[in-house]
Amino acid sequence: DGLRGDILIDVGCGPTIYQLLSACEHFQEIIALDYTDQNRRELEKWLKNEAGAFDWEPVVKYVCELEGDREKWAEKQEKLRKKVKQVLKCDVTKANPTGPVSLAPADCIVSTLCLEGACKDLATFRSALRNISTLLKPGGHLVMVTALGDTYYTFNKQTFSCLCLQKHEVEEAVVAAGFEVRFSEAQPYTVRDERMDLRGVLGLVARRCPSAR
């Protein structure tokens, strides 16, 4: 709430749109970045309204209900489709995550459940934050959702590693990357779930220091 501007970049968008449904009301242009070809292709299928694309309608209706008008779901879908201008490959472990493409600095970056899956250790996580900070204008904002205390997750009978992070480690890494933390709140996750050992989820908003390079 209160964050707005011209360009928003979603770092590690996955094949999903839920994280952009509210953001599309506050930014004029959205650029979606992801490492895997499959995720980018799945997102593009939905953006182009192709046959076989995942049906996000129940989620869009739920978000619209949270925002106060459930009946605007079709309008919101079309608004988001129009605002996502590019879907590009990125690698957060590289100094220029979108290389060889160079992007105009964004007003805001959203990164949802991405870096902890992409980074093997805390040093790589801290480096990745510095790398994605270069995509942002000084004074721009970073909005992150990060898994806490999670070492693995399982999908479709395949297990993936996850960097086990604590709240203070994420906050310290964000500050070290040139940000001022504006909001940080951890929600415990207490559901017993054999597919992962998640302990909590951290929501964080930070502002890139104007002096950051």
pLDDT computed for residue 212 by the predictor: 65
pLDDT computed for residue 192 by the predictor: 87
Residue 65 is encoded by which pair of tokens? Answer: 């209900």
pLDDT computed for residue 2 by the predictor: 83
- Among 14, 26, 21, CA closest to 61: 21
pTM, whole model, 2 decimals? 0.95
Cβ atoms 23, 110 nearer than 8 A: yes
Q: Which residues of the chain have pLDDT under 70?
A: 1, 212-213
Cβ atoms 201, 153 nearer than 8 A: no
Domain residue spans in the chain? 1-90, 109-212
Q: Which residues, in sequence order, are bridge partners of residue 205?
A: 143, 183
Distance CA 212, CA 202 (A): 24
Q: Tell whether domain 109-212 is in CATH 3.40.50.300.
A: no
Residue 56 is encoded by which pair of tokens? Answer: 């996000």
**Angle at which helices 167-176 and 122-133 pack, to 10 degrees?**
40
Q: How many CB atoms lie within 10 A of CB 96?
A: 14
Q: Which amino acid is at 86?
A: Q
| 96-127 pLDDT tens trace | 999 999 999 999 999 999 999 999 999 999 99
**Angle at which helices 57-67 and 73-83 pack, to 10 degrees?**
100
